[in-house]
Amino acid sequence: MASLPDLIKWRDELFQARLSAVREVRDSSGETVRFGSDREMANAIAAADRAIAEGQAGRASRIIRFSTSKGI
């Protein structure tokens, strides 16, 4: 998976291309991605946003600690 800064850069490039009505985007590895419609591009931006959110949230803790007392 790409690093968080790479994902943010890719999402920003996609967003700029969408605003400019450009359907082809070249990624950091030099590959050209052509989107058939605005909806496809919007879905790619949404997927990038989800991946960024997951990367920023970190990993959820699997440990739950209980603190109980008898009320004394």
Contact 45, 16 (CB under 8 A): no
Tens of pLDDT along 22-52? 888 887 788 898 999 999 999 999 999 998 8
Look up tokens 């919007």; give the residue: 42
The 10 Å Cβ neighbour count of residue 40 is 13
pLDDT at 60: 60
Mean pLDDT for the chain overall: 85
